[in-house]
Chain A
Amino acid sequence: MAESCSMLGGQALEVRWHGRGGQGAKTAALLFGESALDTGMYIQAFPEYGPERMGAPVAAFNRLSDKPIRSHAGVKNPRVVVVLDASLIEPARVTEGLVEDGILLVNSNVEPAELRKRLSLPPGIKLYVVDASKIAMETVGKNVPNTPMLGALVKVTGILDFEPMMVAIKHKLAEKFRGGKEKFVEPNLVSIRRAYEEVRC
């Protein structure tokens, strides 16, 4: 845990998730928080609640720290922004408040260089891209990009050790899919592993 927390540098890591209602931004934030907890960190995971409709833009947040988290203010200047749906990039102003040397992780099938140009990203921002929708279709059989994006997020932040996190996530997914939907656990795990391997900058 000591090593994986080194990027925190005494500060909480703040993450903002963008998705559309139904894509599981909130679930991903909760799963990410729970996995970090299992490695010994202090965590917060909370959604931004508004009118909840399928397809409407939604956001969710994480704070991770190696010491108790006291603030209950909103996350305004995240170090990492995760975008589950590339169509949100403009309407949701996904780079708003992102710190100058922050990380932008996007679910997209566009080449990173091309996407960077389209977004005219400031040079300090590190852009990572993974086709999480395609991975989800090929593994889970549905466009549920939230779980694979977890794998990509762990890779680009380096904040959690991957294998122990997978053990934690397997446990959480087994709980989530209990009562007849157990068959979804394994494909989800495969999708996380693939996104971890396929994410690029």
Chain B
Amino acid sequence: MILAKTGNEALAYAMKQINPDVVAAYPITPSTEIVQIFAQYVSDGKVDSEFVAVESEHSAMAACIGSAASGCRTMTATASQGLMLMHEMLFIAGGLRLPIVMPIASRSVSSPLNIHGDHSDSLASRDSGWLQFFCETVQEGYDTLIQCVKIAERTSLPAICAVDGFILSHCMERIETFEDKPVREFIGKYKPNWNLLDIKKPILVGPATMQDYFFEFKRSQIEGMNKALPIIEEVQAEFKQKFGRGYGVIEEYRCEDAEAVVLLMGSACGTMREAVDEMRNQGKKVGMVKLRVFRPLPHQVLAESLAKFKTVAVMDRADTVNAWGGALFTEISSVLYDSPTRPKMLSYVYGLGGKEFSLADAAAVLEQAHAGKKEDLVTYIGVR
């Protein structure tokens, strides 16, 4: 069906179709409208989910962990300070390998207080052991959240599906939704590997593990994340086969003969496509690489794609406060360090706290990438 939906509405609609066993969430600000809309589905009897309204995001994630450990398909949603308050629990969900799925409207983090879109909250959670997807459009948010359920369950890893706060979460766009039935067929019935409540197969969950075994647990968690990439690709392919829309872990846009490319994530990719087209009309060989899957970082895919360009400009929508480049820039630079050919790397930070990122801003980055140089080590776009 063709519908007009905001990012929040589309993600809540996907949750309705997923019909998780349990949703535990904190239903007021600083959370997102997703929870409010989903709660309406619950009270209208549109879903079978057990909705647990908790007293904070910390408790929301704690309840999700309990639910997922009991073998239930479990979801929640949050943003910004809410994700910050979950931080401790995110690592526990990651370490216990619980396939909790969480759409977030990615936003800035206080202080100063600001409610608008950037990637500070999601990138601050990057080491917590969650898969992380960044979406360009409302449509991609809807599609990706459905994929996330399958990917999380197949990899035994929790998954964050991020849309840019306000820029997508509150923007109404045209989307094509599927019927409930094919969505439920696609995600299938959840068969957990273990279940805390299965008294015939008693197990221990979350024990204390000291020097002798902690590192081994962590190493196996890391291996789980390392092995997630082919599973993501597999699910993307299954999604394309069933629904016709295909996504890669990265996407190269007009990169065939490009000399310089810009790499970025999220809603600004669309604006960058427009700028690439304009530059191409002027005969400048530039392109864009969109990174859709940030965790696991598709190391090899990125190395193979990027090593062929003369210049790679990396744009971060979050800052690391003195790591000399955002998280994306430092990670992508590290990906390319051992390449036989090493592109010139340019670092940009843009759009913090919802700061406008215009077509002209996108074109200016492409111009510098095309020239292959700029003066500042890190450029903060549009800052007065």
Residues of chain A whose beta carbon lies under 8 Å from any beta carbon of chain B: 30, 33-34, 37, 41-47, 49, 69-74, 76
Q: Is B41 an interface residue (CB 8 A)?
A: no
Nearest first, the 6 closest Cβ-Cβ pairs linking A and B are A70-B270, A72-B267, A46-B171, A45-B172, A34-B4, A37-B4
Asked whether B4 lies within 8 Å of A49 as measured between CB atoms, the reply is: no
Chain A hits for B2, CB < 8 A:
37
Asked whether any CB of chain A lies closer than 8 Å to the CB of B150, the reply is no
Query: Known contacts A69-B173, A70-B273; can you find 7 more A-B pairs with CB under 8 A?
Result: A30-B172, A46-B171, A49-B166, A70-B271, A70-B274, A71-B271, A72-B270
Nearest CB in chain A: distance from B366 CB, A: 14
On chain B, the residues within 8 Å of A44 by CB distance are 171-173
Bitwise interface map of B from 345 to 370 toward A, beta carbon under 8 Å scored 1, else 0 = 00000000000111100100000000
Are B116 and A71 in contact, CB atoms less than 8 angstroms apart?
Answer: no
**A43: chain B residues within 8 A (beta carbon):** 4, 172-174
Render B106-129 as a binary contact track against A, CB cut-off 8 A, 1 for contact: 000000000110000000000000
Of all chain A residues, the one with the shortest Cβ separation from B164 is A72
Q: How far is the CA of A76 from the CA of B115 in the complex (A)?
A: 21
Q: Which of A45, A49, A74 contacts B358 (CB 8 A)?
A: A74
Evaluate contact between A49 and B359: CB separation under 8 angstroms.
Answer: no
> Which of the four size classes fits the interface of chain B?
20 to 34
Chain A neighbourhood of B171, CB < 8 A:
44-46, 72
Query: Which residues of chain B (144-172) have a CB below 8 Å from chain A?
Result: 164, 166-168, 170-172
A71 and B137 CA atoms in complex are apart in Å by: 10
Interface status of B268 (Cβ within 8 A of chain A):
yes
Task: Give the contacting residue for B271; candidates A30, A34, A46, A72; CB below 8 A.
Answer: A72
Q: Mark B251-293, 1 if CB is under 8 A from A, else 0.
A: 0000000000000000110110110000000000000000000
Contact across chains for B356 and A73 when beta carbons are under 8 A apart: yes
Contact B268 A72 (CB under 8 A): yes
C-alpha gap A47/B8 in the complex (Å): 14
- Give the interface of B toward A (CB within 8 A): 2-4, 115-116, 164, 166-168, 170-174, 267-268, 270-271, 273-274, 356-359, 362
Q: Report the separation of the CA atoms of residues A30 and B116 in the bound assembly, to the nearest whole angstrom.
A: 20
Tally inter-chain residue pairs, CB-CB below 8 A.
60
A43 to B4 Cα, complex, angstroms = 8
* Most A-side CB within 10 Å, residue of B4, B170, B358: B4
Check A73 against B359 for contact (C-beta < 8 Å): yes
Q: Give the complex CA separation of A173 and B115 in angstroms.
A: 30
Chain B residues within 8 Å of A30, by CB: 4, 172
- Complex CA gap A104/B186 in Å reads 49
Q: Find out whether the CB atom of B271 lies under 8 angstroms from the CB atom of A73.
A: yes
The winner among A30, A43, A70, A72 for most chain B CB atoms within 10 A is: A72
CB neighbours of A46 from chain B (8 A): 166-167, 170-172
Nearest Cβ in chain A — how far from B250, in angstroms?
A: 18
Once the chains are docked, how many angstroms separate the CA of A49 from the CA of B274? Answer: 25
Q: Give chain B nearest CB distance to A15 CB in angstroms.
A: 13
What's the Cα separation between A45 and B166 when bound, in Å? 11
- Decide: B4 and A76 in contact? CB cutoff 8 A: no
Q: How far is the CA of A34 from the CA of B172 in the complex (A)?
A: 9
Question: Chain A's nearest CB lies how many Å from the CB of B175?
Answer: 10
CB distance from A197 to the nearest CB of B (A): 27
Q: When chains A and B are docked, how far (Å) is the Cα of A21 from the Cα of B174?
A: 26
Q: Is the CB of B271 within 8 A of A49?
A: no
Measured in the bound complex, the distance between the Cα atoms of B170 and A45 in whole Å is: 9
Q: Could you write out 24 A-B pairs with CB less than 8 Å apart?
A: A30-B4, A33-B4, A34-B172, A41-B174, A42-B173, A43-B172, A44-B171, A44-B173, A45-B4, A45-B171, A46-B166, A46-B167, A46-B172, A47-B170, A49-B170, A70-B273, A71-B274, A71-B359, A72-B168, A72-B171, A73-B356, A73-B362, A74-B358, A76-B358
How many angstroms between the C-alpha atoms of A169 and B377 in the bound complex?
52
Q: Are A49 and B174 in contact (CB under 8 A)?
A: no
For A172, the closest partner residue in chain B by CB is B4
Give the residues in chain A near B115, CB-CB below 8 Å.
49
